[in-house]
Amino acid sequence: MATFFGEVLSVYSRAVEEDDDELDENEEDEQIRRELEEKREVHLHWSPEVSESLKSGNKLQCSDFILAVGQNASSFLSVHILSTPNWDTIGRASAWNERSRAVTGQGCEESACVFYRRKDNPTVLICQVSCYVAEDQLFQWTEKVFDCLQLRELNVTVLSDTSVADYKTADYLGGSSAPFLRSLHTSAFGDQPVCQSLEQPNIVTGLAAAVLNHCQVHRIAAVVYQCYSDVIGPDSVTMETYKPVLTKLGRSIQLDPSPSTDALRKFVRTTDLQSNLYI
């Protein structure tokens, strides 16, 4: 740009500087987004034996996969099944999110998502999930886990905790009605559930819903047993509600009908029990 006296001045545009700043901010936001996605990725950590088998292109042979989601469902398996020495720990899953306590990449003595395999029948697998799996992590958790399993003739049973406050019914539901079970299964499930089906407009959510949806798409026989309870935290009465489910599985699961008092006390703290109907 030339002035009246012939002096040439450089043209300065504030818009150009603002565009550069906006571009830098967009690149920075994109970098933060990528780092957050990497941090929230679900990681599976298998035992050396299982890892070597999977790396060779093999799948985990599995006829029955039992998934427990929630404190009562997980504690029920711990007390009535996993308390026997007939199970090996073969892996765990870690998923960092805003409500998780475990940090991805760090070992922890009591993982919130653990996989077990029965010693005398390696085709029976159990997974306990007592941690929170965020909505954006549900799909990848399900995809990664089932990608490791042999899907042919696979049967999936999901035990899932939920609050009775989430149960919708036109009839009055007294406090004495809880806990109780409701079921929802895929079209490939040919057995008879141990309880009545979940009534509309009630739905299954979270990891149980993600697993059920995956099984429906891939034509896997699967059933979700959702336990509605009015108690916060592990409760022996709520845990007993699941007993008919595993009793029906028969030989694949050895159920301990009378667990020791010490085993129950380890997972149930009676002094902390309270109803959430009035919270």
Q: Is 239 exposed, middle or buried (0-12, 13-18, 19+ CB in 10 A)?
A: buried
Classify each residue of 47-59 as buried b or exposed e, where b means 16 or more C-beta atoms within 10 Å of its C-beta: eeebeebbeeeee
pLDDT bin (cut points 50, 70, 90) of residue 103 is very low
At residue 62, the pLDDT reads 95
Q: Does 271 or 130 have the greater pLDDT score?
A: 130
In three-state secondary structure terms, 155 is strand
Edge to edge, what strands does the sheet with 124-129 contain?
Answer: 43-46, 87-94, 113-118, 124-129, 64-69, 155-163, 221-229, 180-185
pLDDT tens digits, residue range 16-71? 555 555 666 677 777 777 777 788 899 999 999 999 999 999 999 999 999 999 99
Residue 262 pLDDT exceeds 50: yes
% of the chain with per-residue pLDDT over 70? 75
Taking only the tens place, the pLDDT of each residue in 194-252 is 999 999 999 999 999 999 999 999 999 999 999 999 887 788 889 989 999 987 776 66
What average pLDDT is seen over the chain?
82
- The better pLDDT of the pair 206, 254 is held by 206
Residue 114 tokens read as: 């653990």
| Residue 110 banded pLDDT, cuts 50, 70, 90 | very low
How many Å apart are CA 144 and CA 137, to the nearest integer?
11
Tell me, what's the pLDDT at 267?
58
Q: Which of 49-58, 98-107, 139-148, 174-183 has the lowest mean pLDDT?
A: 98-107
How many angstroms separate the CA atoms of 180 and 173, rounded? 11
Q: What is the band of 159 on the pLDDT scale with cuts at 50, 70, 90?
A: very high
Using the 8-state DSSP alphabet, how is residue 51 labeled? H
Q: What is the pLDDT of residue 107?
A: 37
Convert the pLDDT of each residue in 136-157 to its tens digit: 999 999 999 999 999 999 999 9
Instruction: Report residue 108's pLDDT band, with 50, 70 and 90 as the boundaries.
Output: very low
Instruction: Provide the whole-model pTM.
Output: 0.80
Helix (H) or strand (E) holding 229: strand 221-229
Q: In which band, very low, low, confident or very high, does the pLDDT at 173 lie, cut at 50, 70 and 90?
A: low
108: Cβ contacts below 8 Å, ≥ 6 apart: 102
CATH superfamily assigned to domain 60-265: PAC-like subunit (3.40.50.10900)
> Could you tell me which of 158, 154, 143, 190 has the C-alpha nearest to residue 61?
154
